[in-house]
Structure 1
């Protein structure tokens, strides 16, 4: 900012020169992070947080920076012509002098890495966490998996039941794989897996309403490797794995979340007797927007053999009628 926006002047040529300089430095990063070689882009601290705050106040989604927002912000700065004349709600005084250079670097990053959406990390990430975010797509190196195991141990989770529910939930999700958004299968599977592993963690506090206790714990945990938004997603799945769905107060337009929640709830039902269920004959399918319907096919002889599970599945049909999605049971 001091080099290209001298004396606080904000003009097109300054932005152009600053962006070119940033790209010259960032070019080498393309060898490690080429376009389309990653799923989610995170930004940490400093200007990223400042820009995120400004856009949020201006009406953009909380915790999100996109191209449209950056373009709008640059136009505002060009109209102001000088940082002292810049009137932007959410802009803190300690960021005013450096906002020009920061926005230039962000625009260079968006262009070089072909970023459409940048997620703002909550607070400054301590040393090493960004590296974890880059590497954790390898399941064997994922620090979040270690954190989940630690939480299971700390809260006395029944590991056999947790693994049973996890396994059945993933089997159901696999049946929905053609309907899972193309860029999201790994993330959807892992979050469902972790939610299943932790769904009973609140039982250590009280068996009554244990799902509520578990959700509260996740929303208030210092869980290494997890972004706050990820923990909240897990807490919603844990909260919603049983009981009425209206307590979630979420947007069921998120098809990925609806799929995760459906698979988790069905798995908990099928595993309610705390023994391995005969789930192979069951077939789960999904019709997304505009139908918003899940269909569970089960053989008639299976329904007769497992009347308790069938009863719980019929109750599940009623539960989903309170949402924008439907669950249909088809007995052959």
Structure 2
């Protein structure tokens, strides 16, 4: 990543949409622009978990404005992430289709676990570098709440809880009412959900607790106006705020300084969740952090571009973890990755396809047999299932989908991945390289690659030339190669074989 290069993160939260633009300056991210709009999309989910037209329109209008600002950004410079509301929305694809056009960049709906990882990464990036400090990070969003524990900048335990300031305000503080009874019900309900996960965090001290994002910032600001320490939240202070809200009885009567008008409709839910967390986790105080999901997303962009230090890419660690947990024949996985790379390189002498495409192909090679850990029968389907639903920190949903399609498509008929082949030429070539690598390594030995010559034809087809001696000494591989050529006959790209 070069000095002065711009990067942008778009956070499609349940309450607000945010755009942060930073530049790389001497190896560090420096904010140059920050835009925030209160969209309150989470409030637009109906009883059937469908976004209303009004909620979608508010989101689209915001994304159109963000899109104008990002018009000259390359795809590799932008990370646009959606969280709980779009995770829940049954009609999210309708919103995403138009939203991506308006923004001019893909939007990824990330899992709760991935959201938690990015939040911790963003929060700790802006904290003093202390590799031994045990930290607890809490982020109360609009429809989900993340609790993450870690040491230094490494997250070790994380959970995404299914409640937030918007959803809890809708459920327990209907029509803006702020009674003691409303708070009691909201806190009891939150306690019941939190209690299930308390044991996971029992080993982590509460000495260094950090709060992130909107609710935490609003509470800290209000407490500061009441004479509290800046950027500090105490349990005593939150109890005092709760008493003031109950005394007001309704959000329309809230007059105290430090609470913005756009925060009033969701303050009841936010305060009740915060109190439940502090009581259940035994926290007396926490410090507000400037970091959040956006900074975590920006850091991921930096790591992905750092070709000289791929070990920093969290995705590499995820692949290693999957291999450790589900690996069947690691040597074969490395062999397939290497042969696939050799074929890909031969077909790509002018660098038409990206390094990231090659990296994905190599990962698919390493992981192609992980499904054997479940059962050999249909193991490619089992492997795809692991990629779809397993824990893969760092991978965007679209990247997981691509890897899963490569794994499920590496053997058998192509009908199951025909749509992906037709829609994405680079995927088609990745899959062909992977299938050819598996074919050539069918004896679980290194193939004689020098006996095969690969070429990408002008019409996009792949041609392989083999020596006659090779066909005689490798009759099984030659037969499989001919069968593979037949398999691709009905696809947009073809495979042809000639014998010299």
On the 8 A contact 1:43/1:121 being kept in 2, the answer is no
1:317 is matched with which residue?
485
SS state at 1:178 partner: coil
1:218-297 correspondence to structure 2 within 5 Å:
218-253=387-422, 254-287=424-457, 291-297=459-465
Give 1:268 shift.
0.3
For 2:327 and 2:342, locate their aligned partners in 1 and report how far apart those are by CA, in whole Å.
Answer: 25
Are the aligned partners of 2:327 and 2:367 in contact in 1 as well (CA < 8 Å)? no
Matches within 5 A, 1:173-184: 173-178=344-349, 181=352, 184=353
Give the aligned partner of residue 300 of structure 1: 468
- The runs of 5 or more residues in structure 2 that have no matched partner are 19-49, 76-102, 122-295
**8 Å CA contact retained: 2:327, 2:369:** no
The root-mean-square deviation of aligned C-alpha atoms, in Å, is: 3.0
- The alignment's TM-score, normalised by the length of structure 2, stands at 0.47
Deviation at 1:208, TM superposition (A): 1.3
Partner Cα separation in structure 1 for residue 410 and residue 59 of structure 2: 46
2:71 to 104, 110, 116: 110
Q: Does 1:165 align with 2:346?
A: no
Match for 1:185 among 354, 379, 387? Answer: 354
Q: How does 1:63-212 map to 2 (within 5 A)?
A: 93=54, 103-111=64-72, 113=73, 117-123=104-110, 125=115, 126-127=118-119, 128=121, 129-130=296-297, 131-138=299-306, 139-178=310-349, 181=352, 184-212=353-381
Q: What secondary structure does 1:44 align onto?
A: strand
Once the two structures are superposed, residues 68-120 of structure 1 have per-residue CA deviations (whole angstroms, 9 ceiling, x without a partner) of xxxxxxxxxxxxxxxxxxxxx96665676686565433312324x36694111
More strand, by proportion:
2
Equivalent residue of 2:465, what SS? strand
1:43-58 matches, cutoff 5 A: 43-46=10-13
Segments of 5+ residues of structure 1 without an aligned counterpart are 1-29, 52-88
Gap change, CA 1:95 and 1:306, over 3 Å in 2: closer
CA contact (8 A) 1:246 1:323 kept: no
Structure 2: distance between partners of 1:242 and 1:179: 29
What are the superposed Cα offsets for residues 266-322 of structure 1, whole Å, 9 maximum, x if unpaired?
10011110111111221111236xx34111111111111111111111111111123
Q: Look at both structures and tell me which one has the larger radius of gyration over its CA atoms.
A: 2
Q: How many residues align?
A: 256
